[in-house]
A and B are shown apart, each in its own frame.
Chain A
């Protein structure tokens, strides 16, 4: 066992008790869940909210004149208001409820792309993007004739800001960057990225899928134009996410999908669109998802994002230190500013093999390319083993991971 101390501010045992799944087993062993960067577990409060919604409030939203529909609408809109509060957005008009972070990015790439991208224009992304922030822009470029430009990274897994500055020019129409890298853990200097783009009136989208579980995000302080994140990574349900967009952009952009909810009037000659945020929410939304997301975000705010970060950083530091003591272990992503994600490789072993043995020991980690193939190519590796920590993880989890990795390495080498 390690002799590191746990965060004094948080009662982790009590927090952990909120997550029923963590009491379970995997492969007949107590579960050590270290894959929260892929999807977090859900607290009882969220499960109760979903159950309550379907038992007592379920009806379609924004439609019915009857009381139940009004209750469902109120519950749904409370989810939106909590998302607004979580991001410190100025108005709920700027908070679009989507399927997830990927859906949010696709919405912008598709709608903004249709309106503003022309042949020869440029879109800037980075070398550490998730496929979700690459492929939507490739599609938009394909349709418009625009060109994708990529900010390179250094060997530590940090953006080379000098290269970013060189890429910005009068042809640049949008910059779309990950806030925190899912594969490396790098926290990007997003304020600087935004300010540099704004000097040229270029809007910036941030992929916040990995940042929102770990960092306090304030879209007004950042002055960011678009911010997308997923509910299921912040202790909420799957199938719900948030796209924040500045009103001036959302008003200028055409609808993404057509259907119910997003219209004002429909005739066969001409349809007019609903006001924000409904203009971008075609069809019956994920009502229970929004309810659950709201409760999840409130749960985070009650614990305090700063407290969460402090605890996770302790786990990250301890895990980094102990893992590096293992012979031949190399950490991929050694940025100065990191969130609680550790990607690593052990010389002479394949990530798939390590992950398979860890699974047998009851330890859930992610292996593979983490949907960042260009990034893996940049480091000339087939993939990594990735352990990621959430607020419910403990020093005991770290110790078990380290012991498990040692055991797996001994078997494989």
Chain B
């Protein structure tokens, strides 16, 4: 599936929730279920420090795709990370670099990615795209 197809799928899923309670309960369950990152990567090097919560991000490339794993100490942040990883992981690096993440607005979670929220999520998205960009450039070089 493409990045946009996954985004549409998530928007569709969230359209079934009547109120914020259900939505957040779903996010919390996502946060609880997902083992998101190998423990060895939860170190300073992979840490994105927010004022409110901490986020760890790891990226690697296999078979021309970038694979992300990530985690957070806050469960709602972690739930949203689950969605972001689902959208951007196992995609071509160049697609990650230019991805427009419209689903965040559509499912009403925009505030969690606002610059003033300082929970690490916004920086994480930026970092994911930078990884995409760097890997795409690397691939270009080795192909050229």
- Evaluate whether A382 and B73 lie within 8 angstroms (CB atoms) in the complex, with A352-B53, A368-B52 already known: yes
A353→B73 CA distance, assembly (Å)? 10
Contact A357 B74 (CB under 8 A): no
Contact B76 A353 (CB under 8 A): yes
Most chain A Cβ neighbours within 10 Å, of B73, B75, B112: B75
Contact A369 B51 (CB under 8 A): yes
Chain A residue with the shortest CB-CB distance to B25: A411
Chain A residue with the shortest CB-CB distance to B73: A350
- Evaluate whether A412 and B28 lie within 8 angstroms (CB atoms) in the complex, with A352-B74, A352-B77 already known: yes
What are 16 A-B pairs with beta-carbon distances under 8 A?
A349-B75, A350-B53, A350-B75, A351-B74, A352-B52, A352-B74, A352-B77, A352-B119, A353-B75, A356-B24, A356-B76, A360-B20, A367-B52, A368-B51, A368-B52, A411-B21
Most chain B Cβ neighbours within 10 Å, of A355, A368, A369: A368
- The answer to the question of B54 belonging to the interface, with a C-beta cut-off of 8 Å to chain A, is yes
- Evaluate whether A350 and B20 lie within 8 angstroms (CB atoms) in the complex, with A367-B52, A411-B25, A411-B28 already known: no
Which of B's residues lie within 8 Å of A, judged by CB?
A: 20-21, 24-25, 28, 51-54, 73-77, 112, 119
Give the chain A neighbours of B51 by CB distance below 8 A: 368-369
A122→B102 CA distance, assembly (Å)? 54
Give the chain A neighbours of B53 by CB distance below 8 A: 350, 352, 382
Which of A's residues lie within 8 Å of B, judged by CB?
A: 27, 349-353, 355-357, 360, 367-369, 382-383, 411-412
Give the chain A neighbours of B52 by CB distance below 8 A: 351-352, 355, 367-368, 383
Give the chain B neighbours of A382 by CB distance below 8 A: 53-54, 73
Give the chain A neighbours of B24 by CB distance below 8 A: 356-357, 360, 411
A247→B71 CA distance, assembly (Å)? 55
B21: shortest Cβ distance to chain A, in Å? 8
A356→B108 CA distance, assembly (Å)? 13
Give the chain B neighbours of A351 by CB distance below 8 A: 52, 74
A39: shortest Cβ distance to chain B, in Å? 15
Give the chain A neighbours of B74 by CB distance below 8 A: 350-353
Q: Main SS of chain B's interface residues? A: helix
A355→B75 CA distance, assembly (Å)? 12
A80→B133 CA distance, assembly (Å)? 57
Give the chain B neighbours of A360 by CB distance below 8 A: 20-21, 24
- Evaluate whether A352 and B20 lie within 8 angstroms (CB atoms) in the complex, with A382-B54, A412-B28 already known: no
15 more A-B residue pairs beyond the given contacts A27-B20, A353-B75, A360-B24, with a C-beta to C-beta distance below 8 A: A349-B75, A351-B52, A352-B52, A352-B74, A352-B77, A352-B119, A353-B28, A353-B74, A353-B76, A355-B52, A356-B24, A367-B52, A368-B51, A411-B24, A412-B28
A2→B51 CA distance, assembly (Å)? 35
B26: shortest Cβ distance to chain A, in Å? 11
A374: shortest Cβ distance to chain B, in Å? 15
A351→B77 CA distance, assembly (Å)? 11
A358: shortest Cβ distance to chain B, in Å? 12
B120: shortest Cβ distance to chain A, in Å? 10
Give the chain A neighbours of B75 by CB distance below 8 A: 349-350, 353, 412
A137: shortest Cβ distance to chain B, in Å? 22
Give the chain B neighbours of A349 by CB distance below 8 A: 75
Give the chain B neighbours of A355 by CB distance below 8 A: 52
A411→B75 CA distance, assembly (Å)? 11
Closest 3 CB pairs of A and B: A350-B74, A352-B74, A352-B53
B36: shortest Cβ distance to chain A, in Å? 15
A382→B119 CA distance, assembly (Å)? 12
Give the chain A neighbours of B54 by CB distance below 8 A: 382
A367→B52 CA distance, assembly (Å)? 7
A372→B52 CA distance, assembly (Å)? 13
A70: shortest Cβ distance to chain B, in Å? 42
A238→B116 CA distance, assembly (Å)? 19
B127: shortest Cβ distance to chain A, in Å? 19
A362→B51 CA distance, assembly (Å)? 22
Give the chain B neighbours of A412 by CB distance below 8 A: 28, 75
A19→B125 CA distance, assembly (Å)? 40
A357→B74 CA distance, assembly (Å)? 12
Give the chain A neighbours of B119 by CB distance below 8 A: 352
A284→B131 CA distance, assembly (Å)? 49
Most chain B Cβ neighbours within 10 Å, of A351, A355, A356, A369: A356
A128→B65 CA distance, assembly (Å)? 48
Give the chain A neighbours of B21 by CB distance below 8 A: 360, 411
Give the chain B neighbours of A383 by CB distance below 8 A: 52
A349→B112 CA distance, assembly (Å)? 18
A360→B74 CA distance, assembly (Å)? 17
A407: shortest Cβ distance to chain B, in Å? 9
Give the chain A neighbours of B73 by CB distance below 8 A: 350, 382
A406: shortest Cβ distance to chain B, in Å? 14
Chain B residue with the shortest CB-CB distance to A407: B21
B121: shortest Cβ distance to chain A, in Å? 11
Give the chain B neighbours of A352 by CB distance below 8 A: 52-53, 74, 76-77, 119
